[in-house]
Amino acid sequence: MLADKEIIVIKFGSGILTEPNGISLDSKQFDGLVHAVAEVHKSGKRPVIVSSGAAAAGMMAFGIDERPDDLSALQACCAVGQTRLMHFYETLFRQYNLNVAQLLLTNEDFSTPKRTQNVTNTFDELLKHDDVIPIINENDSVATEELKFGDNDSLSASIAVLIKASLLIILTEVDGLMDSDGNLIIEIESLAEALTHVRDDTGTYSVGGMGTKLEAIDRVSRDGIPALIANGRRYKQLEALIAGSGLCTRIKI
């Protein structure tokens, strides 16, 4: 990867981008998250965002309260919602004189060597430009079941490995992995041990639960990339997380 600065991959989950009542995108959250990412960029690092939220944004546009089971209906929601997401990001990052670049990917982009090289080449080019923030999402509007990652936790891990990131941060609705007594587990050493604390639940608009997040940070750690899970509502601590502190669950490597 061509960039001469640390690359920080930051994944935004759907739950931290939408209002708690589930009727709209949370503009205050977008403001705070974009400001935090802009500060990371200002510090000399290269943030790369993996953003969920397209399906939720489209569902809200159509007035749908539940995630569609029909693939075509869901893909239509994603097609409409993705434009809303990028409008938010483009407008907000412009305040910091930063441009956004949209990359919509499927699993085939990482399983077919020629396509993987094309993705790598695109990142190489984008990272030559210091004023660009890449924003990645799964291409949900066209991806069929066999081409899907399944969740953006897996996608963020694949991106982090591909572009040789210095750190993967997965932002979600909780502070990290909790034990049976509700206490935050600061550090995990074993994926198998960590998974014993996982409950089988997801948010209203989410796809991946805590299990997929743990699998994602375990995957990148095996490539020597530090990773953590933290609360995206606490966006003011983003720089602290990068510096090695903050409230989160980290994987020991």
The CATH number for 7-251, chosen from 3.40.1160.10, 3.40.50.720, 3.30.1490.20, 3.20.20.140, is 3.40.1160.10
Maximum Cα–Cα distance across the chain? 48
* Domain ranges for the chain: 7-251
Q: pLDDT value at position 29?
A: 95
Lowest model confidence (mean pLDDT) among 76-80, 140-144, 153-157: 140-144
Contact status, residue 250 vs residue 187, Cβ threshold 8 Å: yes
Q: pLDDT value at position 246?
A: 97
Taking residues 55-81, report their average pLDDT. Answer: 84
Q: Quote the CA–CA distance of 90 and 195 in Å, as a whole number.
A: 37
Q: 249: part of which helix (H) or strand (E)?
A: strand 248-251
Q: pLDDT value at position 147?
A: 40
For residue 29, give every residue at least 6 positions away whose Cβ sits within 8 Å of its Cβ, in sequence order, or none.
16, 17, 232, 233, 235
Place of tokens 């200002």: 42
Lowest model confidence (mean pLDDT) among 46-60, 97-111, 139-153: 139-153
Better-predicted residue by pLDDT, 142 or 252: 252
Query: Residue 88 in 3-state DSSP?
Result: helix
Among 153, 135, 123, which Cα is nearest to 33's?
135
For 86, the token pair is: 């990028």
Better-predicted residue by pLDDT, 177 or 146: 177
pTM of the full predicted structure?
A: 0.90
* Residue 2 binned pLDDT confidence (cut-offs 50, 70, 90): very low
Q: pLDDT value at position 118?
A: 96
Residues 96-119 have pLDDT tens digits of 999 999 999 988 899 899 999 999
Residue type at position 14: S
Q: pLDDT value at position 173?
A: 93
